[in-house]
Amino acid sequence: MTGPPITPTSLAHRHHRKEPAVDQELFNRFKKCAVEVLSVSEDQVVPDARFGDDLDADSLDLVELVMALEEEFDIAVPEEELEGIETVGQAYDLVAGKL
Q: What angle do CA 50, 28, 55 make, to 5 degrees?
A: 20
Dihedrals phi, psi of 87, to nearest 5 degrees: -120, 160
From the candidates 43, 48, 58, 74, which is the catalytic residue? 58
What are the boundaries of each domain within the chain? 22-96
Is 48 a catalytic site residue? no
Per residue in 25-37, pLDDT (tens digit) is 999 999 999 999 9
Check: CB of residue 37 under 8 Å from CB of residue 68.
yes
- Out of 1.10.1200.10, 2.40.50.140, 1.10.630.10, 1.20.58.220, select the CATH number for domain 22-96: 1.10.1200.10
Per residue in 45-88, pLDDT (tens digit) is 999 999 999 999 998 999 999 999 999 999 999 989 998 999 99
| Residues making up the chain, counted from first to last | 99
